[in-house]
């Protein structure tokens, strides 16, 4: 083979790194994981500096059926591993964050919060466009909020994915729901991506602003007051959640459920909301409560992070499915992309 995708990608790494640098701090802390028993209990001492630092967490790593799905993947398939590779633990994984596409209340400029509003036609198109941008990035597991706009976005984005795996919502609300949604073909199972819905990833609860027009609210209470409710870190809107309160559930969920998946080498996509994702990005990028004020997320724009050796490395937003810089950072991503090309030619 003449020039591999990896080699091409490496050639452009430098320029893309510059493009994706956003002024946020990228240095990451470290996480140490210690196995303390055979029943999957782990003790994770998160030694991160910043607002969520120095928290020692102890929890059971629940072996959800979703995390046990054995998937054929050009990157992780034993067919492509060398004897040496198979001994190594995966130390890197892709993490895609995506805010839902435009909702019907975004269009009407209404405070939405936890009200369960669907996408507009434009939102549907944004989700499909986002799917094209990430169509070459491996995804083993999808997390969404419990709200339809995030779920629609994840599903629509996956219609564009080149692996053509089928995203399947996991119904674990009770034993019957679990039993009735079982798949009885191992082969079919391998071609599915589990989608886990979690209320903890919902938009922050906007209290008594939900359903109010943003402009009319600013006219009534003053632009500064409304901006404080919308973007300050610790001032909640009337009877609603501040970003800090939203972070308490969203970041805790991320740390307890999603980080262990990344640590085990699973590539994850999270489809959620402006503020639940702002709180997660604050954690990933170690933003201060001042810095997060100016963090704005557009609807339907995917953001890629690489989780590597306990650190999150922000790669920015892929502008196109073949953008070399996206694949340059890790050899695994480059190999995945190359094998996809070979398989799907």
Ligand X SMILES: O=C(O)[C@@H](CO)OP(=O)(O)O
Asked whether the beta carbons of 133 and 188 are under 8 A apart, the reply is no
Residue list 113-132, contact with ligand X (CB under 6 A): 113
Residue nearest to ligand X (CB): 112
Query: Whole-angstrom distance between the N-terminal and C-terminal Cα of the chain?
Result: 15
Cα gap 166→89, rounded to integer Å: 27
> Closer to ligand X at the Cβ: 94 or 150?
150
Mark residues 248-287: x for contact with ligand X by CB under 6 A, - for none: --------------------------xx------------
Q: Among residues 92, 126, 203, 259, which is the contact residue for ligand X, using CB under 6 A?
A: 203
CB of 236 to ligand X, least distance (A): 12
CA nearest to 48, candidates 285, 233, 306, 239: 285
CB of 72 to ligand X, least distance (A): 38
Q: Among residues 51, 66, 112, 242, which is the contact residue for ligand X, using CB under 6 A?
A: 112
CB of 113 to ligand X, least distance (A): 5
Cα gap 325→322, rounded to integer Å: 9
Q: Confirm whether 203 is a catalytic residue.
A: yes
Tell me the C-alpha to C-alpha distance, in Å, between residue 156 and each of 64, 138, 151, 216, 273: 25, 16, 9, 33, 16
> Closer to ligand X at the Cβ: 106 or 261?
106
H/E element, 328: helix 324-328
308 is in an annotated binding site: no
CB of 274 to ligand X, least distance (A): 4
H/E element, 15: helix 5-20
Classified as helix, coil or strand, 236 is coil
Q: Point out which residues pair with 308 in neighbouring strands.
A: 92, 311
Q: Confirm whether 187 is a catalytic residue.
A: no
Cα gap 188→95, rounded to integer Å: 24
Centre a 10 Å sphere on the Cβ of residue 252 and count the other Cβ atoms it contains: 15
Residue list 214-243, contact with ligand X (CB under 6 A): 230
Which spans of this chain sit near ligand X (rule: CB under 6 A)?
A: 106, 111-113, 203, 206, 230, 274-275
Positions annotated as catalytic residues are: 100, 203
* Residues contributing to the annotated binding site: 99-106, 112-113, 149, 203-206, 214, 230-231, 274-275
């Amino acid at each position: 083979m003449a020039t591999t995708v990896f080699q091409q990608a490496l050639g452009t790494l430098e320029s893309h790194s510059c493009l994706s640098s956003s002024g946020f701090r990228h240095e990451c802390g470290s996480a140490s994981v210690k196995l303390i028993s055979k029943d999957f209990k782990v003790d994770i001492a998160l030694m991160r500096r910043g607002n969520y630092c120095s928290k020692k967490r102890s929890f059971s790593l629940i072996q959800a059926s979703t995390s046990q799905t054995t998937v054929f993947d050009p990157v992780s398939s034993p067919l492509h591993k060398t004897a040496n590779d198979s001994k190594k633990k995966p130390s890197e994984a892709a993490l895609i964050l995506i805010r839902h596409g435009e909702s019907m209340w975004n269009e009407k400029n209404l405070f939405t919060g936890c009200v369960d509003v669907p996408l507009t036609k434009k939102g549907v198109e944004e989700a499909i466009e986002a799917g094209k941008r990430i169509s070459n990035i491996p995804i083993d597991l999808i997390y969404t909020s419990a709200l339809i706009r995030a779920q629609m976005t994840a599903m629509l984005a996956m219609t564009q994915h080149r692996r053509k795996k089928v995203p399947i919502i996991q119904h674990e609300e009770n034993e019957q729901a679990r039993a009735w949604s079982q798949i009885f073909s191992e082969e079919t199972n391998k071609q599915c991506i589990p989608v886990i819905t979690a209320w903890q990833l919902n938009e922050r609860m906007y209290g008594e602003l939900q359903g109010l027009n943003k402009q009319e609210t600013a006219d009534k209470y003053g632009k500064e007051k409304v901006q404080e409710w919308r973007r300050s870190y610790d001032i909640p809107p009337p009877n609603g959640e501040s970003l800090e309160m939203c972070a308490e559930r969203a970041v805790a969920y991320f740390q307890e459920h999603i980080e262990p998946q990344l640590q085990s080498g699973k590539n994850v996509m999270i489809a959620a909301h402006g503020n639940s994702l702002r709180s997660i990005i604050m954690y990933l990028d170690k933003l201060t409560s001042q810095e997060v004020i100016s963090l704005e997320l557009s609807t339907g724009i995917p953001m890629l992070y690489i989780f590597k050796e306990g650190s999150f490395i922000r790669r920015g937003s892929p502008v196109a499915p073949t953008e070399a810089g996206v694949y340059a950072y890790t050899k695994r991503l480059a190999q995945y992309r190359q094998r996809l090309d070979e398989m799907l030619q």
